[in-house]
A and B are shown apart, each in its own frame.
Chain A
Amino acid sequence: MAEALTAHGDHGGPHAHHPALQHHFDTLDQQHEAATLGMWLFLITEVLFFGGLFLAYMLYRVWYPEAWAEGSYQLNLTLGAINTVVLIGSSLTMAFAVRAAQTGLRKATVGWLIATMLLGLTFLVIKYFEYAEKFEHHHVPGSNFSFPGPHGDQVQIYFSLYFLMTGLHATHMLIGFGLLSVIAWMAHKGRFSEQWSTPVEISGLYWHFVDIVWIFLFPLLYLVDRAHTPVG
Chain B
Amino acid sequence: MSGHVSPKRVYYAIFGALMVLTIVTVYVATVNLGRLNFPVALGIAITKATLVILFFMHAKYSSRLTKLFVGTAFFFLLVLLTLTMSDYLSRGLKTYPGGAAGSGYGERTPTPPADLRRGKEEGGRERTEH
Chain A interfacial positions (CB closer than 8 Å to B): 27-29, 32-33, 36-37, 40-41, 43-44, 47-48, 51-52, 54-55, 58-59, 62-66, 69-70, 74, 76-79, 81, 84-85, 88-89, 91-92, 94-96, 99, 101-103, 137, 148-151, 194-198, 201, 204-205, 208-209, 211-212, 215-216, 218-220, 222-232
A47 pairs with B112, CB closer than 8 A = no
Q: List 24 A-B contacts (CB under 8 A).
A: A27-B1, A36-B62, A40-B69, A43-B73, A48-B80, A51-B77, A55-B85, A58-B81, A59-B84, A66-B112, A76-B129, A79-B128, A88-B15, A96-B8, A148-B118, A149-B115, A150-B116, A201-B2, A208-B53, A212-B52, A215-B48, A220-B42, A227-B32, A227-B33
A59 pairs with B37, CB closer than 8 A = no
Q: A47-B74, A62-B88, A227-B37 are in contact. Are A208 and B109 (CB under 8 A)?
A: no
A81 pairs with B26, CB closer than 8 A = yes
- Kindly state the separation between the CA atoms of A179 and B29 in the bound complex, as whole angstroms: 35
Contact of B110 with A by CB under 8 A: yes
- Kindly state the separation between the CA atoms of A137 and B118 in the bound complex, as whole angstroms: 16
Digit string of B68-90 for contact with A (CB within 8 Å is 1, else 0)?
01101110110011001100110
In the complex, the chain B residue whose C-beta lies closest to that of A36 is: B66
Q: Which of B6-35 contact A (CB under 8 A)?
A: 6, 8, 11-12, 14-15, 18-19, 22, 25-26, 28-33
Q: Is the interface of B mostly helix, strand, loop or mixed?
A: helix
Q: What residues of A have a CB within 8 angstroms of the CB of B85 in the complex?
A: 55, 58-59, 62
How close is A9's CB to chain B, nearest CB, in angstroms?
A: 25
How close is A75's CB to chain B, nearest CB, in angstroms?
A: 10
Q: What residues of B have a CB within 8 angstroms of the CB of A88 in the complex?
A: 15, 18-19, 22
Count of chain A to chain B residue pairs whose CB atoms are closer than 8 Å in the complex: 203
A65 pairs with B115, CB closer than 8 A = no
A29 pairs with B56, CB closer than 8 A = no
Q: A44-B72, A66-B112, A219-B29 are in contact. Are A224 and B41 (CB under 8 A)?
A: yes
Q: What residues of A have a CB within 8 angstroms of the CB of B33 in the complex?
A: 227
